[in-house]
Amino acid sequence: MNRFDYVRAGSVAEAIAAGAEPGAAYLAAGTNLVDLMKGGIARPERIVDITRLPDLDRIERLPDGATRIGALVRNSDLAHDPDFARSYPAVAEALLAGASAQLRNAATAAGNVLQRTRCQYFYDVASACNKRAPGSGCEAIGGVTRAHAVLGWSAHCIATNPSDFAVPLAALDAVVEIEGSAGRREVALEAFHRLPGDAPERETALEAGELVVALRLPPEAAGFAAHARYLKVRERTSYAFALVSAAVALRMEGSRIAEARIALGGVALKPWRCREAEAALADREATPEAFRATAEAALAGAEPSGDNAFKIELARRIVVRGLTLARAGTPERVPALPASPFAGAHHA
């Protein structure tokens, strides 16, 4: 690691003032940042510790029915909060599918959404990577691409976003609350992460020194609680990032789908909201034929970025599986293998 200054902020205003300095980085749990620093991928000149900022570790039900998740709420606390899990079961299921129990006990809500890609070329400082060193090239292209993007990638970057948590948040129209030197602003989570284009080093909508203070789920998000699932296909059952994942939420009226929400993970550098597929499913009977057509629509623009064409078919199948399970209804108990399509048994 390089030498760095350490600042412990006592308020959001203090944090923003310190974080606006060139070379500064915010530290919460550090479950991603510390690894990046150890590997020489991130070399901040100033660490701004925000772990003691007041009022950012709360889960709040707002008067309008929305739910506000403070930036410092721990992943495990959020997933196991009974009211939250009942209202947003797909979000809780996604949280329980991420990392390990020890990491979930430390990692924060905002940190999860802000974690950087797990592309092996990004983590290998001997490899060319436009995210790490803009203009150096992308050594992933033409390399080992099993885990890389099939949607939204460019000639400059084919990495994917690793967050499970962000996928159902995107499906449910979550909003990111941001504080900065210019004041407070909000960005839809769907627009918060950037596709690589010709500037893959710009990963989010954050400007220099801005701080995520909360995530907010709108009132209508809880209306999908009865038919919502998150599914994840990964190389091994525990502590692995998604090859492909899907968050599916339905609002049913009898056997008819009144409204659908679908987002994919592991396929692009951001959670991929499938709005055209959602629209095609609205006001239709929940049949296998409708689900297969929806899956085709969700992956209509997909292209392999190397030897990973299998991910396109895998994503289609996980959409069908997610729709089928969501139609059957949210289970009263979390599956024994959270977010796994192979989960059969249940536990309390």
Domain assignment present for residue 42? The answer is yes
Q: What is the pLDDT of residue 111?
A: 98
Sheet of 46-49, strands arranged across: 5-8, 46-49, 24-27
Domain assignment present for residue 70? The answer is no
Nearest one of 303, 314, 297, 145 to 245, comparing CA atoms = 314
Angstrom distances, CA of residue 201 to CA of 161, 198, 204, 251, 278: 13, 9, 9, 38, 31
We report the CATH number of the domain holding residue 308 as: 3.30.390.50
Domain assignment present for residue 203? The answer is no
- pTM equals 0.97
pLDDT at 231 over 80: yes
We report the CATH number of the domain holding residue 40 as: 3.30.43.10
If one counts the domains in the chain, the total is: 2
| Full residue range of the structural domain in which residue 282 is found | 226-328
Nearest one of 324, 120, 12 to 341, comparing CA atoms = 324
Write out pLDDT tens, residues 109-163: 999 999 999 999 999 999 999 999 999 999 999 999 999 999 999 999 999 999 9
- The band of 346, judged by pLDDT with boundaries at 50, 70 and 90, is very low
Are the C-beta atoms of residues 71 and 108 closer than 8 Å to each other? yes
Domain assignment present for residue 171? The answer is no
What is the C-alpha separation between 78 and 246, in angstroms, rounded? Answer: 20
φ, ψ for residue 307 (rounded to 5)? -85, 60
Domain assignment present for residue 248? The answer is yes
Domain end (from 52, 67, 88): 52
Domain assignment present for residue 139? The answer is no
Write out pLDDT tens, residues 70-118: 999 999 999 999 999 999 999 999 999 999 999 999 999 999 999 999 9
Domain assignment present for residue 344? The answer is no
Q: What is the pLDDT of residue 344?
A: 54
